[in-house]
Structure 1
Amino acid sequence: MQAFDLHQHLIGRQGSRRDLNTPALVVDADALERNIARMAAFAKASGLSLRPHAKTHKSAAIARRQIDAGALGVCCAKLGEAEALTEAGIDGILITSPVVGAPAVARLAALAGRAKGLMAAVDHPHAVAALAASGAALTLVVDLDPGIHRTGVASPEAALALAQQIDAAPGLSFAGLQFYCGSQQHIEDFAARREAIVERTDYLKSVIALLTEHGLEPKIITGGGTGTHAIDAELGVFNELQVGSYVFMDKQYADCDLVGDGAQAFETSLLVDARVISANHPMLVTVDAGFKAFATEAGPPPVVSGAPDGSQYRFMGDEHGALIPPKGVAPPALGEVVTFAAPHCDPTVNLYDAYHAVRGDTLVDIWAIEGRGRSA
């Protein structure tokens, strides 16, 4: 791991954060731990289980901290992520995307033999038949389409038919339902987000009622997210939350009123440190973090520190970004470190092989991102 080779000697040395080779993916360990503790306390007070989504961080070190705080396990978006975290000793994994195709089914069957508490989501009868034919003992949840037509069965009747198929198949166990309203998570206004989730939760209730009527009451109702966690708890239908981004709080979630009071419920803990590498123009300087340093679909990264208030970032290519201070204000000098927040945390994390955990200005540890690139 290059990050460890480059920076092992900096661990524990006061002020060592400034000496990181940049761009560097940084985690404020104190803020991260507070975020994990706050969500764990919220879930406990609400009578909910937590199975946080590890697609956000892809890291056994962070998953262990979530489990130590009370989580049942974690979710993984892809089979490869689940394999990587299982290899690192993480139990209680739910794979939230359908596993389809003979090679993937064989891998899932093999993983089930060594992964304690493994579950997987399904949304098609052919996929269930293939899993049954694998001969593996598998616990499955039926994925419901919340209306975006990405994954999930399309009707309550289809959910019932799939649950019945699972229940009848030797080796397969029906555990419950998965319902993730992804398009509602980032509605910035709390009241508008609540209205949208209430409507979708009514639909979820109709599916639960149909399954229960036919003797297949789902024991697990899993889903929700950082954007809707407070609403989901209030509505009382979910018994397990798949919150993910709360650990980091990227710009997309920081722009949302999460709990209805206008205050930030969680802290920004995921950061990218960059360095000024060219300073030949009075109106801007160039930093060493471009398209390869940040996810780009959510806009430019916010400036956190190291530059005058009001400074703006602009992408300038794969390796470079422009830092533009307010008119009449001098930009940072050559060699200065500028810290940014992630526009979108999950794909930003996937660009790096390790986190640099810091407390204040000191590097305290380096954590591998085991699930990085494990998208198959």
Structure 2
Amino acid sequence: MDDRELHEHLIGQQGSRAALNTPVLVLDLDRLERNIAAMQAKAMEKGVALRPHAKTHKSVDIAKRQVAAGAVGICCAKIGEAEVMVDAGIAGVLITSPVAAPAAIARLGQLAGRAEGLMATVDHPQVARAIDAALADSKAMLDVIVDIDPGIRRTGVASAEAAVELARAIADCGHLRLRGVQFYCGVQQHIEDFAARREAIEERTDYLRTVVDALSEAGFPPEIVTGSGTGTHAIDLKLGVFTELQAGSYVFMDTQYLDCDLDGSGEAPFETSLAVDSRVVSANHSALVTIDSGFKSLSTDGGSPRVSSGAAPETVFAFMGDEHGALVGPDIGTSLRPGDLVSLVVPHCDPTVNLYDNYHVVRDGTLVGIWPVSARGRAR
């Protein structure tokens, strides 16, 4: 049975979160909406646009709420995600990873013909020319952003000189229009200490300024400077170089970001809205119980999940295989019994979300909706 067959009858029933089949991805609607409003307010206060990253939530329902709150559009990591969002009526989509494979470039050409405000990143003249050729058939124009490598050598031009070279190549393309640059410091997002993160971002921002200056001197002043993330949003807003932010995980707040002092206050500026609800399936040892969430229910790249309710906060989680996890703590095998509910804060929200078909949206413990993870699996 799928999620709707299992749970649709519970919508609107008071306290129905407790009746959900587990493991299940749960989204607290009130917290989500407060997070969306809080980040939008921070950006607006500084006169900076917000184009949140939908690779985090992969949800048309959440993207529409972000745009309704004032976002200028959304970011997508892959063209498959962008197709889902565009076909759902979301305007202002920026594809943040280079689209370089021939089949993907052909799809990009088709998407540009039907997408309002679509933008794509490029980091190589050859790719720019290939995209331009694909657009010739549809006679569409596409706004493009030069991706700048922040030092991790994943994507992006490697120098200011390369950025200028690429800008000149784009200028020679009849169907491309250069709008600006992208600079995403992914490594720095999760530096836990605020002062250390600020120092690292200030150094990288100095480099970004040299690239912007080189492009401006060559006759290509960037209209858009896009990047940043949940981990560095407060620092980037203060530095004032970005014209728009791409933060994404703020809507959920996973353990990786909860470990970070995001704004120097020592307090989390956003609430934890996402959880995986699980149940105890075995309790035959005094210091250990087994729950029904394992590798297939939780991402493993961000450490371990943490207990948010149902057991003591200091309870230790350990993966026990594909289907199971262990909760370890003094006398936990006597305080928890089979069938008891335990809610977990996820370790890395993006890949955890991608494991599920739907969000189970709750308000005050009551299931109020089932939203599809619209772009689940759209990695190509």
TM-score range, shorter chain: over 0.9
Whether contact under 8 Å (1:60, 1:370) holds in the other structure is yes
Listed as ranges, the matches of 1:42-53 within 5 Å are: 42-53=42-53
CA distance in 1, matches of 2:379, 2:334: 43
Match of 1:330, SS state, is helix
1:168 deviates by 1.9
Residue in structure 2 matched with residue 337 of structure 1 by the alignment: 341
Q: 1:194 aligns with which of 185, 189, 198?
A: 198
Residue in structure 2 matched with residue 59 of structure 1 by the alignment: 59
CA distance in 2, matches of 1:328, 1:137: 61
Whether contact under 8 Å (2:123, 2:157) holds in the other structure is yes
Q: 1:209 aligns with which of 184, 196, 213?
A: 213
- Between the two proteins, what is the percent identity of the paired residues? 61
Residue in structure 1 matched with residue 13 of structure 2 by the alignment: 13
| Distance 1:295-1:181 versus aligned 2 partners, 3 A rule | same
CA deviation digits over 1:76-133, x for unaligned, max 9? Answer: 0001111111222211100000001211111001111111110000001110010111
- The amino acid of 1:63's aligned partner reads A
Whether contact under 8 Å (2:128, 2:170) holds in the other structure is yes
CA distance in 1, matches of 2:282, 2:3: 24
Q: 1:367 aligns with which of 338, 353, 371?
A: 371
- The amino acid of 2:226's aligned partner reads T
- The amino acid of 1:101's aligned partner reads A
1:360 deviates by 1.6
CA distance in 1, matches of 2:277, 2:9: 18
CA distance in 2, matches of 1:370, 1:59: 5
Residue in structure 2 matched with residue 229 of structure 1 by the alignment: 233
Match of 1:207, SS state, is helix
CA distance in 2, matches of 1:336, 1:126: 57
TM-score with structure 2 setting the length:
0.97
Whether contact under 8 Å (1:283, 1:331) holds in the other structure is no
Whether contact under 8 Å (2:74, 2:94) holds in the other structure is yes
Whether contact under 8 Å (1:323, 1:331) holds in the other structure is no
Q: 2:274 aligns with which of 266, 270, 276?
A: 270
| Distance 1:47-1:106 versus aligned 2 partners, 3 A rule | same
Listed as ranges, the matches of 1:294-333 within 5 Å are: 294-326=298-330, 330-333=334-337
Whether contact under 8 Å (2:306, 2:313) holds in the other structure is no
User: What are structure 2's unaligned runs of at least 5 residues?
Assistant: none
Whether contact under 8 Å (1:325, 1:331) holds in the other structure is no
CA deviation digits over 1:178-205, x for unaligned, max 9? Answer: 0000000000011100000001001111
CA distance in 2, matches of 1:133, 1:191: 47
1:330 deviates by 3.1
Whether contact under 8 Å (1:37, 1:69) holds in the other structure is yes
- The amino acid of 1:342's aligned partner reads V
Residue in structure 2 matched with residue 151 of structure 1 by the alignment: 155
- The amino acid of 1:86's aligned partner reads V
Match of 1:34, SS state, is helix
Residue in structure 2 matched with residue 257 of structure 1 by the alignment: 261
Whether contact under 8 Å (2:99, 2:122) holds in the other structure is yes
TM-score with structure 1 setting the length:
0.98
Whether contact under 8 Å (2:284, 2:333) holds in the other structure is no
User: What are structure 1's unaligned runs of at least 5 residues?
Assistant: none
Listed as ranges, the matches of 1:284-295 within 5 Å are: 284-295=288-299
The count of aligned residue pairs is 376
Whether contact under 8 Å (1:286, 1:322) holds in the other structure is yes
Match of 1:233, SS state, is helix
Match of 1:84, SS state, is helix
CA deviation digits over 1:125-178, x for unaligned, max 9? Answer: 110010111114211000000000000000001001111111221011000000
CA distance in 2, matches of 1:310, 1:238: 39
Residue in structure 2 matched with residue 123 of structure 1 by the alignment: 123
- The amino acid of 2:129's aligned partner reads A
CA distance in 1, matches of 2:77, 2:335: 41
CA distance in 2, matches of 1:300, 1:372: 22
Residue in structure 2 matched with residue 88 of structure 1 by the alignment: 88
Residue in structure 1 matched with residue 39 of structure 2 by the alignment: 39
1:309 deviates by 3.7
Q: 1:184 aligns with which of 182, 188, 193?
A: 188
Query: What's the Cα RMSD here?
Result: 1.1
Residue in structure 1 matched with residue 356 of structure 2 by the alignment: 352
Matched, 1:24 2:28: no
CA deviation digits over 1:221-257, x for unaligned, max 9? Answer: 0000000001101111000000000000000000000
